[in-house]
Amino acid sequence: MEWDSTVASVCKKCLENFRRNDIERQGENFDFAYAPFIYRGIAQTIMNFKHGGDTRAVGFLATFMAESLGDKKFDLLVPVPLFRKRQKERGFNQAELLANEIGNLMGIPLATNIIKRTRKTKPQEKMTNDERVANQKDAYELISAPFMDSSAPTLGQMQSALSLDSPSESSTKFIRNILEGKNILIVDDVITSGATVEEVAKILKKGKPKSINVVAVATVG
């Protein structure tokens, strides 16, 4: 994509110095996590986006995230949800914006009605790894517990059901069987300790997906 230093908040040459070579990271509840950048190299761009409301970088960041996945195939994108009050205050969920763009780039349906955050968690910037794990524990739940069903939804039905703010009874049926046997990709902005994506993946595993992987803009360290 065309380079725009005002959007990236960092020069192209400097940014290349912070590209990750070892982009794969294994987890306890997910298979691998992928990220194109080391956080300190792209921190200002992420801060401008996440806390400053500058969404111009979404396409730029999502393109690098998609590239970090190579030729891997996924059936469904699940952005890490924000607590309702925090999302209302911010005006958007940064993970959802990134996931939407990745979905457009890779042709993957976006699921925003699969999992929800059940409580407000504390900011984690200054927490230890153990504190992050405790902070995220039991903070998420499936909106509808998946169950065994032989009638798999079509792509069109998936997209329709997953885009609704208040799913109907029929669309909830599709949501309930949508995880089983699927290759799921969790989307987040930054992976630090991995506590957040581990907890989200643990909840998604209840739906018996074939695989769970994660993609983020950057990892810390």
The 3-state secondary structure of 134-160 reads HHHCCCEEECCCCCCCCCCCCHHHHHH
Token pair belonging to 147: 């169950």
Q: What digits encode the pLDDT tens for the residues 158-191?
A: 555 555 454 444 444 455 568 889 999 999 999 9
The per-residue pLDDT for 214 is 97
Cα distance between residue 112 and residue 66, in whole Å: 19
Cα distance between residue 45 and residue 186, in whole Å: 21
CATH architecture of residue range(s) 20-121+128-219? 3-Layer(aba) Sandwich (3.40)
The H or E element that residue 185 is part of is strand 183-191
The per-residue pLDDT for 195 is 87
Go through the chain and tell me how many residues it has.
221
Strands 140-142 and 115-117: antiparallel
pLDDT over 70 (residue 211) = yes
pTM greater than 0.75 (yes/no): yes
104 neighbors 122 (Cβ within 8 angstroms):
no
Q: What digits encode the pLDDT tens for the residues 65-123?
A: 999 999 999 999 999 998 777 767 778 899 999 999 999 999 999 988 888 877 666 66
The H or E element that residue 42 is part of is helix 39-50
Cα distance between residue 94 and residue 115, in whole Å: 16
The per-residue pLDDT for 212 is 97
User: Which one has a higher pLDDT value, 20 or 42?
Assistant: 42
- Give me the chain's average pLDDT, please: 78
